[in-house]
Amino acid sequence: MPQLVFSDYAPQLVWLAISFVALYLLLSRIALPGIARALADREARLNGDLERAEQLKKDAETTLGAYQAAIAEAQGRAQAEIREAAEQMAAEASRREAALAADIAERTKAAEASILEAKNKALGELRNVATEAAGDLVALLSGAPPAPGELAEAIAAAGERS
């Protein structure tokens, strides 16, 4: 085994040192800077992504605030329109109710006047009916019809007593 030959140690150590220095120079000049660049690029990309994510978060919060403000404004306008519509409907209902009340009052007055007219007419005819009935009754009881003037005077006298 060549490792156990003590006379070969010195050249092996020299070649070990040369190999180590060559490997060190190769890695330090070529491989490690590439790895360092890749890590730096990765870190820069991550930082850029984090910054962009924060900016997007701020934009989303701003948009959400604007959305909430727009919703609140729309709700306020809707409430105002509902309140206005309710007031208009109440005013319309009040106007219709007043018109209906006036119409009912007018019809009531007309009905009262019609009833009063019918009552007066009935009372006026009642005197004629009473005169005829009294005349028929006197004719039936006495056998002779009464004189029209006497019968009217007797009914007038009876009306004054009551």
For 94-153, write each residue's pLDDT tens digit.
999 999 999 999 999 999 999 999 988 887 787 777 778 878 888 888 877 887 777 777
Q: Is 48 a domain residue?
A: yes
Cα–Cα distances in angstroms (integers) from residue 42 to residues 30, 48, 49, 55, 57, in the given order = 19, 10, 10, 20, 22
What local confidence, expressed as pLDDT, does residue 11 receive?
A: 82
Q: Is 130 a domain residue?
A: yes
For 35-47, write each residue's pLDDT tens digit.
999 999 999 999 9
* Number of domains observed in the structure of the chain: 1
| Residue 162, helix vs strand vs coil | coil
What local confidence, expressed as pLDDT, does residue 18 receive?
A: 97
Neighbours of 70 (CB within 10 A): 10
Structure tokens at 78: 């809707």
Q: Is 5 a domain residue?
A: no
User: For residue 36, what are the domain limits?
Assistant: 10-161
